[in-house]
Chain A
Amino acid sequence: MGRIQLKSVTKSFGDIQVIPPLDLTIEDGEFTVFVGPSGCGKSTLLRLIAGLEDITTGTIEIDGNDATNLVPAKRGLAMVFQSYALYPHMSVRKNIAFPLKMAKMDPAEIDKRIEAAASVLNLTAYLDRRPGQLSGGQRQRVAIGRAIVREPAAFLFDEPLSNLDAALRVGMRLEISELHKRLATTMIYVTHDQVEAMTMADKIVVLQAGVIEQVGSPLELYQRPRNTFVAGFIGSPKMNLISGAEAQKHDAATIGIRPEHIDISESSGAWKGKIGVSEHLGSDTFFHVQCDVTDEPLTVRATGEVSFKYGSEVYLTPRPEHLHRFNEQGLRIE
């Protein structure tokens, strides 16, 4: 079981409040991702849940029990660190066994659990190696192995993939998602990468400057961003945001349209513009188009391989059903 509830939690370092009062509930078995730009307080929030930092005011409950003043060891949570934080002087086996030894578990049971975790994570052949002899991906798996043997109430991941190269990252992303499906344990995952957030999460928590901007499923965030920040942060490439006269036509301070929701044509359309840089990915083509309606170039996606000459004139038409409208405060207008 792992239902985690934060009630009006705040955190200050000295006089600086990094997290203003914050409420959040993470349901049992949910895969929750904290996402936001660096310095948004997502890692701090995770460390507050872990107990590695004290909260300044408020309470944290784990499964309905007050855990606010519990030391990390007593919270029943396991954490995977960005640097993996493996014990360099211990073999893989001893690394994985460490939390069980600390819990004074029966040695036979420890061995059984290590074998089980190692076979799940493909580590059986490496059990007697030191962390220094392993590749980045293998170290990552050891760190996960050390977390799962404890059968914790919840897993905490602090940017676990940021030290891996791009190809490995995609693979590990899948592995962690699979692990979650199989264990069905609560997982809290911190990342600055919105692609990781979108692909893995049941629930995304978007943070900025310690404040929760929006909480919801990946599709909710994609389809109905609550404000311009979330609109700009979720989705790749970023949503085009246009303010000024064009927005006022739609009774909004700012309008937003995703690159994949704009049609491009050589003959006619709503906005006239000039083709800038084109990015050809094969499956899609992205155009950066300088339009009259805004100073920033707009990003447009065309499916498949499409070609326009640099500098040629085109017309863009946003699909009205996908137009997002925001008021002066940046909040969504329904």
Chain B
Amino acid sequence: MATKASRSAARLMMAPAVILLLGWMLVPLIMTLWFSFRTYLPLRGGDQGWTGFDNYVRFVSSSAFWPAVQTTLVIVLGVLVITVCLGILLAILLDQPMWGQGVVRILVIAPFFVMPTVSALVWKNMFMDPVNGLLAHLWRFFGADPISWLSDASLQSIIMIVSWQWLPFATLILLTAIQSLDSEQLEAAEMDGAPVLKRFAYIVLPHLSRAITIVILIQTIFLLAIFAEIFVTTGGAFGTRTLSYLIFQRVLESQNVGLGSAGGVYAIILANIVAIFLMRIVGKNLDN
């Protein structure tokens, strides 16, 4: 409800953001599409003309493709499951009355401030190093053989590092949501004779659904793009090559821009499938 004047002002004020993002999206996208149909090797002869769908076929039929898609999904889903589940438990714990709640909250959110390169390096060397890492010491203390985390349990290790980075975020959002739960609702359920677990399942969890959606949406956006954690720890070896990383290798390491671009188009399609799926859910939640 507004006047024509304010509506046209609104369009004008929205324009810079829309135009910038449209440019940011379209220009590289069109260039990527263009390259994906060409044989383009910057260090080996440059642009060598059209190849049709060759790059697309080659990218998919490469033995690295499906494992990369799988790795991507495993990492994203693994981190989502861990952070959401632990986040709910932690949020419930932090919501209980206790001494020093503020300090605990600072401790819990601290990992969010740590840049991915730092956390990857610290985890890789100081914790996961099979000789001098702290985890190796711990294993030896209990008489077990230290694990070569990043080569023998590479995917799990990466999921763990990334989960550590994102747990604070999930916890904080869920905690805020729990705190907004009307305690009278819980008391009413208690009066009605609902035991703790039922109260959680029928009152707390539905109340958290919107917060969980937000956690999933925002984390997915960032998780699909994780790069530094892999770049620093395994460099894509030991089955940790995500689709993003595979494309990165094709473009920068093998300097095959055409092939990498075709991969980019696949990644964009994958991201869009995820996006459409997520936006559906979030769109519904956006109104209330």
For residue B5, which residues in chain A have a CB less than 8 angstroms away from its CB? 71
For residue A13, which residues in chain B have a CB less than 8 angstroms away from its CB? 1
Nearest B-chain residue to A70, judged by Cβ: B5
| Alpha-carbon distance between A4 and B3 when the two chains are bound, in angstroms | 20
A residues at B contact (CB < 8 Å): 13, 51-54, 71
B11 proximal to A (CB < 8 A):
no
For residue A51, which residues in chain B have a CB less than 8 angstroms away from its CB? 3
- Looking at the assembled complex, report how far the CB atom of B152 sits from the nearest CB atom of chain A, in whole angstroms: 59
A-B contact pairs, 11 of them (CB 8 A): A13-B1, A51-B3, A52-B2, A52-B3, A53-B1, A53-B2, A53-B3, A54-B3, A54-B4, A71-B3, A71-B5
B residues at A contact (CB < 8 Å): 1-5
| Alpha-carbon distance between A71 and B3 when the two chains are bound, in angstroms | 9
For residue B1, which residues in chain A have a CB less than 8 angstroms away from its CB? 13, 53
Known: A13-B1, A53-B3, A54-B4. 8 other contacts (CB 8 A): A51-B3, A52-B2, A52-B3, A53-B1, A53-B2, A54-B3, A71-B3, A71-B5
- Looking at the assembled complex, report how far the CB atom of A71 sits from the nearest CB atom of chain B, in whole angstroms: 6
| Alpha-carbon distance between A13 and B3 when the two chains are bound, in angstroms | 11
| Alpha-carbon distance between A143 and B49 when the two chains are bound, in angstroms | 71
For residue B3, which residues in chain A have a CB less than 8 angstroms away from its CB? 51-54, 71
For residue A71, which residues in chain B have a CB less than 8 angstroms away from its CB? 3, 5
For residue B2, which residues in chain A have a CB less than 8 angstroms away from its CB? 52-53
- Looking at the assembled complex, report how far the CB atom of A115 sits from the nearest CB atom of chain B, in whole angstroms: 34
Nearest A-chain residue to B4, judged by Cβ: A54
| Alpha-carbon distance between A52 and B5 when the two chains are bound, in angstroms | 10
Interface centre among B2, B3, B5 (most CB of A within 10 A): B3
For residue B4, which residues in chain A have a CB less than 8 angstroms away from its CB? 54
- Looking at the assembled complex, report how far the CB atom of A243 sits from the nearest CB atom of chain B, in whole angstroms: 39
- Looking at the assembled complex, report how far the CB atom of B11 sits from the nearest CB atom of chain A, in whole angstroms: 15
Nearest A-chain residue to B5, judged by Cβ: A71
| Alpha-carbon distance between A52 and B4 when the two chains are bound, in angstroms | 10
- Looking at the assembled complex, report how far the CB atom of B234 sits from the nearest CB atom of chain A, in whole angstroms: 52
Nearest A-chain residue to B3, judged by Cβ: A54
Nearest A-chain residue to B1, judged by Cβ: A53
| Alpha-carbon distance between A51 and B5 when the two chains are bound, in angstroms | 10
- Looking at the assembled complex, report how far the CB atom of B111 sits from the nearest CB atom of chain A, in whole angstroms: 35
| Alpha-carbon distance between A51 and B2 when the two chains are bound, in angstroms | 9
- Looking at the assembled complex, report how far the CB atom of B8 sits from the nearest CB atom of chain A, in whole angstroms: 11
- Looking at the assembled complex, report how far the CB atom of B129 sits from the nearest CB atom of chain A, in whole angstroms: 54
- Looking at the assembled complex, report how far the CB atom of A259 sits from the nearest CB atom of chain B, in whole angstroms: 40
| Alpha-carbon distance between A201 and B238 when the two chains are bound, in angstroms | 84
| Alpha-carbon distance between A71 and B4 when the two chains are bound, in angstroms | 10
| Alpha-carbon distance between A183 and B42 when the two chains are bound, in angstroms | 81
- Looking at the assembled complex, report how far the CB atom of B266 sits from the nearest CB atom of chain A, in whole angstroms: 43
- Looking at the assembled complex, report how far the CB atom of A19 sits from the nearest CB atom of chain B, in whole angstroms: 14
